[in-house]
Structure 1
């Protein structure tokens, strides 16, 4: 039987989700040209569940400022895109749920290159690099995590460093994008990387 404490936790998560503005449902599909592993295919199948659970956990965090950052990334919905412009971007990782309800990291340097086909986080202790392909109004991402003292790794789908997700353009101003990574292998339930064009 579920404990009183657990029932209260579940009720609090449901109440927090009810406070979140309605999010436009954007598809997140895996293009046939993306050679991902069955494990990562399962992560993508669970994309909506990871997002919902992660957001529910994040909205229980104690910091109103951090909760507002998350809400702003989802509240206005998304604008369909077929590519993201090449150039330099500021990016920050926001971890939803898992070991802690919500963690927002500082800004680091990211870049988009090869006519919108390659994304890379270039600074910070944890970095990543991967590919982007159009996928039903967003961009499907597959890549790999690497650390600051390593060269970027190629996606192979077998290593614990593999990543999959979808990148969306957040509607409205300022211009910003949201890369979502369902069920990362470490720490969190759902990761969001916010990207804004660098000045």
Structure 2
């Protein structure tokens, strides 16, 4: 019985990987000017692996609604961008894999400022703030996690809080963006932040 259960799970995983949305091979390069450490450089080197594994785990979720959120963010492909407009955004975190196959949170408040150079999640229990710079048709991100009762932290202030990733515009309408964080330190395999202009 145990063997049959294992074989069935392997089969489900294989089916899930063959069902991954098309057009998910993109990842931005780390600019030479980005002051990230070796650990985070390695995370970026493994970007595609984190995404593929995270999506494969997410497809095993029992929640059809959450799976449809993920599909909508990846299936349409990406539109190249060189900057993100300043302003207020609604943002939500989708955790792929890890402790649970898939967790999609509600929307919170994010903002982009400094002519597209700074991004910040301003509400919710887990927040972040970091920098964006153009790279390969997307935006490279480096920043740090902080909690709701803390002030924002700078990248490098505490290694466990460091974040790196890539941001791209999702093709089609409505206008929305996808920030992906490979191999986060806590909970998940791959994090995706969906951003939608608040206006």
Aligned equivalent of 1:164 = 164
1:25-44 superposed Cα distances (whole Å, 9 cap, x missing partner): 32321000101000000000
Change (3 A) 1:135 1:10: farther
**Number of residue equivalences:** 198
Provide the residue aligned with 2:129 in structure 1: 129
- Displacement of 1:24 in angstroms is 4.8
Which runs of 5 or more structure 2 residues have no equivalent in the other structure? none
Deviation track 1:40-72 (CA, whole Å, cap 9, x = no partner) reads: 000000000000000000011001010000000
- TM superposition shift of 1:19: 1.9
Equivalence map 1:47-196=2 (5 Å)? 47-156=47-156, 159-196=159-196
Matched residues in 2 for 1:49 and 1:41: separation?
Answer: 14
The TM-score with structure 1 as length reference comes to 0.95
Which string of whole-angstrom CA distances, capped at 9 and with x for unpartnered residues, describes residues 98-121 of structure 1? 000000001000000000000000
**Cα contact 1:26–1:138 (8 A) shared by 2:** no
What secondary structure is seen at the aligned counterpart in 2 of 1:23? coil
Structure 2 residue 34 is the aligned partner of structure 1 residue 34: yes
Give the CA RMSD over aligned residues.
1.4
Shift of 1:18: 1.7
**Residues 40 and 157, structure 1, Cα contact 8 Å, conserved in 2:** no
Relative to structure 1, is the Cα distance of residues 60 and 131 closer, same or farther in structure 2, using a 3 angstrom cutoff?
same
When normalised by structure 2's length, the TM-score is 0.95
**Residue in 1 that maps onto 2:10:** 10
Does the CA contact (< 8 Å) of 1:37 and 1:157 recur in 2? no
Residues 99 and 24 (structure 1), Cα distance of their counterparts in 2 relative to 1, 3 Å cut: closer
Distance verdict in 2 for CA 1:130–1:38, change over 3 Å: same
